[in-house]
A and B are shown apart, each in its own frame.
Chain A
Amino acid sequence: MTGDNNGKHTPDNDSIAENLTLINEDNPAGVTENEAASQEYRPVVTPEMVNIFINEAMELFEEAETALLELEKSPEDREYIEQVFRVFHSFKGNAGFLGYRDYEKLSHKAESIFEDIRKGRSLVNEETVSVLLSVIDVMRDGTRNLKPGETADLPGKDILIDLLDNLEIFSQLLPEMTEQPPVDTPAGVTVTCTVKEEEDFFYQNGQCRDNHGEETPCPPPLEKPEGKERCKDPEHDAGSPENNKKQSTIQRAIRVDVEKLDSLLDLVGELVIAEAMVSHNPDIQGLQLDRLDKSLLQLTKITREIQDMAMSMRMIPLAGTFQKMTRLVRDLSLKVNKRIKLVISGEETEVDKTIIEQISDPLVHLIRNAADHGIEAPEERMAAGKPETGHITLEARHSAGEVLIIVKDDGRGLNRQKILKKAGKLGLLQDEAKDLKDEEVWNLIFEPGFSTADNVSSISGRGVGMDVVKSQIGKLRGRVDIRSTPGQGTIFSIRIPLTMAIIEGMVVRVGKAGYTIPIISIKESLQPRPEQITVTPGGLELITIRGEILPVIRLHELYKIKPTYKNLTEGIVIVVESDAKKCCLFVDELAGHQQIVIKALSGYFGKVRGISGFAILGEGEVSMILDITSLVNSAESLLENSTAKHAV
């Protein structure tokens, strides 16, 4: 079944249909032709079929949405027109076979509009796109909630059908009006036009049409296969050279349960460790075993390749997520009456599936903010000597083990005064506001309850959002930086580690224990000289590095283990940073860095102080991953306590 699921890319998507026909033949249930004709045609719908239908429908809708948005930019593009037509056609077929009449009707209407467009009898305009997008939205919401054995009523379909009918009238009138943009025609003109159009359509669409034409008198089940067969008429096949060409560039894919994928990853992690255990087995150390060494080398190589491959299987391009933003910006620009163009680049950048699932909401927030607050109204832009159309740029690229996602607008930029005023009101300012660096001021907008918008609009400005953005990105172990220039716009840079499952870690030793520190948190490591060390009366140790005074956390004290070295000058001090706050961690030695597979903390433990998870090291040993953020914060409170004590 899974193989057939590629229906998304085939013009006639009849995997469900075929399935159904089979079931029907196998299970005639004694229904005579007469009975069948008098009854509504009721196929045996299994829950599995409904699921396949839903999955396929989601893909189809996404495909159509993408194509429609492209069509809005280039209304003449044959390829996209064909694509939309195909999607509605396929969906209509699927819905029809499962007996979802409302969906069938609606998608048929949509299909016929594109039939006209295909035939050059009508043009794509903004309204076509808008109406069809809302048709897709309604059908998508409905489809998502479909349950086996339930009838599928589509609330609001009548309004949509009316809208679609109106569109059809335009196309009918269009030949006389030639290139003129269609105007809103009163809905009254309808009846005759529509009927004529219907006949016309009948003629044009030939046999395929009868698939639907039989809608009122329902076809006896036995004829169904033929009907479907006929659907693959030359007309559709005519489009296929193009389709074939397109198909060849589309990746073939199968659906795999994420859990299976994750257990595969676990196994691969094991394999890597087992491989290391064999290659570095003490029994063969120091022996001259040329042939074995060669084989082991080969084993190592293959193991690494399997590992890379397994990792890449969780990686998905950002294109789907970015695509949703195109739609968002389009809807937003209509809503706020601004001209906004979304420029996307790097959508092919691949990131871990978890990131895909979680990055969408933060991006929506940022883009909404940019559209609502960032981009100025057209008049204001003109007055400022900027192009009337505002640009929001959404960009992604890989950079040093991280994925960098940039949301940039060329709007008015953040307003330092307003932010400071608001922050003052909220009691967020402790220091003298003038002393704050721009960066620090911008970061204030991530505080909970912060919103500087003068008018709270329906789109953004409820003051929830930015703090959510930050916490969501934080969950992905990422961070957000803001840069903003008044009058020129704002840039949000989101950096997220490429994958959630693997990090580059530095293994450090304290006594017998091994801890792992994520490399991205490490600023530097050093062996301090005696003159760098200061001890406060409260017993807090400080190390001065290039003028910066940093508190020291002794890991062996924190975790009550016996260290090899107790003297700061003998061991190693690692400077770690989180959220622009730094501290020093004192350890015995560095034991080398490696790629580590992160294992979540067992639920049995609850939360462990300063530990974010476990890692399995090359030798199969379990090491704890240090939670640098919480360590840095605890160091800071140590520092505050000790200075407070000192002051008293």
Chain B
Amino acid sequence: MAVRERLNPDLLDDEDDDDMEDSQEGKYLTFLLNNEEYGIEIRYVTEIIGLQNITEVPDMPSFIKGVINLRGKVIPVMDVRLRFGMEYRVYDDRTCIIVINVREQPVGLIVDRVSEVLDIPPGQIEPTPEIRKDRGNRFLQGMGKAGEEVKLLLDAEKLLFHWE
């Protein structure tokens, strides 16, 4: 059984120090989308913030909701539901923005809610079943087993940069 740690998302801010690099191996931040739990490698995550005023940017695909002001930096935000082709859900007070940094490019991910940080060793990760390559599956890295539950692990690079 994997070790579980409960972590207050607010504390995550301190998680991204460089010297933490080693201990970030195998750690995933999990979040909920449509009652399904997803995970993203913690090394990409810089912080978690509440929903902010989003300024729409023209000519963008529908899942790019616009930009937010992150302490003086203007960063794009993506609605992960829409990216997966799920139906839009009205944002509420549990809606969070996970700020990830991939290839020096900070992007905010809008998710239903953030749940926890999990240790999923590589041995516990199964490849994605090749049954159906539907819209969401393209961004999966594998299926992580945590106890009885299965987390869908996202490939952050593909999520951000994979355009069809």
A contact residues vs B (CB 8 Å cutoff): 266-267, 269-270, 273, 513-514, 558-561, 597, 599, 602-605, 608-611, 614, 616, 620-624
Contacts and interface: CB of A to CB of B under 8 A. Distances in A.
Contacts of A621: 53, 55, 69
Contact of A611 (B53, B58, B68, B160): B58
Contacts of A266: 71-73
Contacts of B120: none
Contacts of A604: 76, 105, 107, 160
A513 B56 contact: yes
A616 B58 CA distance: 17
Given A621-B69, A622-B68, A605 B58 contact: no
A269 B73 CA distance: 10
Among A514, A597, A604, the most chain B Cβ lie within 10 Å of the Cβ of A604
A603 B72 contact: no
Interface string B73-84: 111100000000
From B57, B107, B160, residue with most partner A Cβ within 10 Å: B57
A621 B160 CA distance: 24
Contacts of A273: 72
A599 B66 CA distance: 15
Contacts of A614: 55, 67, 74
A501 to B, nearest CB: 12
Nearest to A614: B74
Given A603-B105, A614-B67, A624 B57 contact: yes
A620 B53 contact: yes
Interface in B39-72: 53, 55-60, 64, 66-69, 71-72
B104 to A, nearest CB: 8
Q: Which of A514, A599, A605, A622 has the most CB of B within 10 A?
A: A622
Nearest to A601: B74
B146 to A, nearest CB: 31
A608 B57 CA distance: 8
22 contacts: A266-B71, A266-B72, A267-B72, A269-B72, A273-B72, A513-B55, A514-B55, A561-B56, A605-B60, A609-B58, A610-B58, A611-B57, A611-B58, A614-B74, A616-B74, A620-B69, A621-B69, A622-B53, A622-B55, A622-B69, A624-B55, A624-B57
A545 B57 CA distance: 32
| Interface-centre pick from B58, B68, B76, B160 (highest chain A CB count, 10 A) | B58
A605 B53 contact: no
Most chain A CB within a 10 A radius of its CB, from B55, B64, B68, B105: B55
B58 A270 contact: no
Contacts of B57: 605, 608, 611, 624
Contacts of A269: 72
B72 A270 contact: yes
A514 B66 CA distance: 13
A135 to B, nearest CB: 43
Contacts of A561: 56
Interface of B: 53, 55-60, 64, 66-69, 71-76, 105, 107, 160
B74 A599 contact: yes
A622 B67 contact: yes
B145 to A, nearest CB: 33
Contacts of A597: 72
Given A603-B105, A604-B160, A605-B60, A623 B72 contact: no
Contacts of A622: 53, 55, 66-69, 74
Nearest to B52: A620
Contacts of A611: 57-58
A623 B58 contact: no
Q: Which 7 residue pairs of A and B lie closest in terms of their CB atoms, listed nearest first?
A: A622-B55, A270-B72, A559-B58, A614-B74, A266-B72, A599-B74, A604-B76
A602 B75 contact: yes
Contacts of B56: 513, 561
Contact of B67 (A560, A602, A620): A602
B106 to A, nearest CB: 8
Contacts of A560: 58
A602 B105 contact: yes
A267 B71 CA distance: 8
A214 B59 CA distance: 73
A622 B56 CA distance: 9
A17 to B, nearest CB: 36
A623 B56 CA distance: 9
Contacts of B73: 266, 599
B162 to A, nearest CB: 13
Given A513-B55, A599-B72, A605-B60, 12 more contacts: A266-B71, A602-B74, A602-B105, A603-B105, A604-B76, A604-B107, A604-B160, A605-B57, A608-B57, A614-B74, A621-B69, A622-B74
Contacts of B53: 620-622
Nearest to A615: B74
A621 B52 CA distance: 9
A266 B160 CA distance: 26
A453 to B, nearest CB: 45
A602 B102 CA distance: 13
Contacts of A616: 69, 72, 74
Nearest to B78: A604
Contacts of B55: 513-514, 614, 621-624
Nearest to A607: B59
For B53, B67, B69, B72, which residue has the most chain A Cβ atoms within 10 angstroms?
A: B72
Contacts of B107: 604
B82 to A, nearest CB: 16
B117 to A, nearest CB: 26
B71 to A, nearest CB: 6
A307 to B, nearest CB: 13
A517 to B, nearest CB: 16
Nearest to B71: A270
Nearest to B161: A604
A270 B73 CA distance: 9
Nearest to A609: B59
A320 B74 CA distance: 34
B50 to A, nearest CB: 14
B76 A602 contact: yes
A559 B56 CA distance: 10
A598 to B, nearest CB: 10
Nearest to B67: A622
A264 to B, nearest CB: 11
A559 B57 CA distance: 8
Nearest to B53: A621
A602 B74 CA distance: 7
A37 B68 CA distance: 67
A600 to B, nearest CB: 8
A558 B66 CA distance: 16
Contacts of B58: 558-560, 608-611
A602 B105 CA distance: 8
Contacts of B64: 605
Contacts of A599: 72-74
A602 B107 CA distance: 9
